[in-house]
Structure 1
Amino acid sequence: MRLRSLLFVPGDRPERFAKAATSGADAIILDLEDSVPPANKEAARAAVADYLAGPREVVTLVRVNPLDGHMTAADVAAVVGARPDAIMLPKAEGAPSIAQLDTILRSEAKDGASLPAILPIATETPAAIFTLGSYREAKDRLVGLTWGAEDLPAAIGAAASREADGRYTEPYQVARSLTLFAAHAAGVAAIDTVFPAIKDEAGLAAYATRARRDGFTGMMAIHPSQVAPINAAFTPSPDEVARAQATVDAFAANPGAGVLQIDGKMVDAPHLKQARHILSLAD
């Protein structure tokens, strides 16, 4: 499952579902949490279930409400029978949260039905930061790991999570980095958080490019206009692919070599691993 771009859609706006599915995003996230006011939750569940029951053009996730509330079971009961591709779990706190959600999923799924994979939002509470390493224990249930920079500052009384120029302040740089390493430790997709400035196309492109540089494999979006720049950032350029292929070919031609020289530069096993990764992204 390729997850370069994951586009949020409010669950109570069913007229937007089809447009989101044809936006070019690798996945859409039908949201039952923050974007849906309490009075609209039931209608949103019904709209999401109706959409899931029909033909799908793209990987479709559903973001349920957090486990510390009273709505998760109702969300799951409404949608799991229509088999979403994955459930996004906000305010997740490590492997115990995955086990708790699995209990709910099993109680609501039809006999013999396979359970959808889970995409936790892994940094939205202070306690969550200290559980990031535990996702390795639940890696078989995960489709990826992502983080958020909005709920956490609110939870600790921080004034903001970003500097005036848009960069994250130090605590949230740490949360982002730990999520990145936790995802790779679990062997699942590392999904960066949203870029909130919808009209800042240059800023989005720069942020997404840095995210891929740092090791993220995809990014969430909050508007269809953000999908194309995100996809571009997480798709290797022809020059990158050519250099990666040259590295792979050089080692294939010299199977006993540990170090080679290509275009005047020394390359070794880590470079070969990176080249293979680039080719997998381009495939």
Structure 2
Amino acid sequence: MVPAPFALGPALLFCPADRPDRYGRAVERADAVIIDLEDAVAPANRTAAREALIAHPQDPARTIVRVNALGTPDHELDLLALQSTGYRTIMVPKAESAAALAAQRGFQIIALCESAAGVIAAAEIAAVDTVVALMWGAEDLIASLGGTSSRRPDGSYRDVARHARSQVLLAAGAHGKVAIDTVHLDIADLAGVAREAEDAAASGFGATACIHPSQVEPIRGGYRPTEAQITAATDILRVAQSQPGVFQHHAQMVDAPLLRHAEAVLQRAGIPLPGD
């Protein structure tokens, strides 16, 4: 079951809910904004953040609200505030229980699997009807394991983080849901952002979250197929129209999986498939 391309676009920008002066700029610069009522807001400021969320409406079609974790008093207050807005897509952090998520009615849910329990339960979470996407989180995951760093000194993810990333991607894909890659915390490392976005797109993620406007274009670039990739994909699909079954093309065997790879390239580029 192949997930549909993420309708909002590849670059999702977090914005603190207690900074309404940034809401509009975030929506303008990114494909969608994630207004954050959780980690980006100090507990003492959450009441003011909810008031700001209500008082400064943005386009609901391009706005996700990260609420506080299920089972917390702030979560219930967040949902109450959302009733006074047009926002109906929420990101639920520290998601661990499919049953608890299924009980959240009236919202499309992006489940953030960022603990050991959440990663292990990712497949059950992805099966919930109202869950439209899964995202993973490296830092909370490592904290839940008692670790101290998600990355090695060279900047690459440690094996446990890579495993969690893959498990969330596979769980989402198995249920036809979108997988969202996690944020890159080193704001100055735009080359690293671009590399990880390119890998995310090639692996099957539908979007990548980010924490700074400067990261938006590197993410978009990572998800945007190159002209060479578009040309190669178009060429293979055109040849396939007159070649039944497996065939050889430019000394490469081409079969059904490679045709699907080529179709995915053109989908990401927004180009109709040959014959459509």
Give the percent of matched residue pairs that are identical in Structure 1 and Structure 2. 39
The residue number in structure 1 matching 2:64 is: 61
The residue number in structure 2 matching 1:19 is: 25
1:279 equivalent to 2:269? Answer no
Structure 1 runs (4+) deviating above 4 angstroms are none
Task: Answer with 56-65 or 168-177: which moved more.
Answer: 56-65
1:62-101, aligned counterparts within 5 Å? Answer: 62-101=65-104
The residue number in structure 1 matching 2:189 is: 200
Do the aligned residues in 2 keep the contact of 1:64 with 1:88 (CA within 8 Å)?
A: yes
Give, in whole Å, the separation in 1 of the partners of 2:42 and 2:239. 57
Deviation string 1:144-195 (CA, Å, 9 cap, x unpaired) is: 1100011122222112111111111121111111011011112111110000
Give, in whole Å, the separation in 1 of the partners of 2:239 and 2:126. 34
Give, in whole Å, the separation in 1 of the partners of 2:100 and 2:230. 39
Q: TM-score, normalised by structure 2?
A: 0.90
The residue number in structure 2 matching 1:107 is: none
Q: TM-score, normalised by structure 1?
A: 0.88
RMSD: 1.6
1:1-283, aligned counterparts within 5 Å? Answer: 1-23=7-29, 25-52=30-57, 56=59, 59-102=62-105, 115-122=106-113, 124-138=114-128, 140-254=129-243, 257-283=244-270
The residue number in structure 2 matching 1:106 is: none
Do the aligned residues in 2 keep the contact of 1:22 with 1:57 (CA within 8 Å)?
A: no
Question: What is the letter of the counterpart of residue 49 of structure 2?
Answer: A
Deviation string 1:48-75 (CA, Å, 9 cap, x unpaired) is: 12233x5x28610000000132111110
Any unmatched runs of 5+ in structure 1?
Answer: 103-114
Give, in whole Å, the separation in 1 of the partners of 2:110 and 2:189. 27
Question: What is the letter of the counterpart of residue 10 of structure 1?
Answer: P
Question: What is the letter of the counterpart of residue 55 of structure 2?
Answer: D
- CA change 1:35–1:49 in 2 (3 A) is same
Do the aligned residues in 2 keep the contact of 1:3 with 1:218 (CA within 8 Å)?
A: yes
Tell me how far 1:116 sits from its aligned partner: 2.9
Do the aligned residues in 1 keep the contact of 2:112 with 2:134 (CA within 8 Å)?
A: yes
Deviation string 1:201-241 (CA, Å, 9 cap, x unpaired) is: 11211222222222222100000000000011011112211
Question: What is the letter of the counterpart of residue 100 of structure 2?
Answer: S
| Partner SS for 1:76 | helix
The residue number in structure 1 matching 2:3 is: none
Tell me how far 1:130 sits from its aligned partner: 2.0
Do the aligned residues in 2 keep the contact of 1:28 with 1:58 (CA within 8 Å)?
A: no
| Partner SS for 1:160 | coil
The residue number in structure 2 matching 1:111 is: none
Question: What is the letter of the counterpart of residue 182 of structure 2?
Answer: T
Give, in whole Å, the separation in 1 of the partners of 2:107 and 2:118. 22
Tell me how far 1:262 sits from its aligned partner: 2.1
| Partner SS for 2:47 | helix
The residue number in structure 1 matching 2:273 is: none
Tell me how far 1:94 sits from its aligned partner: 4.2
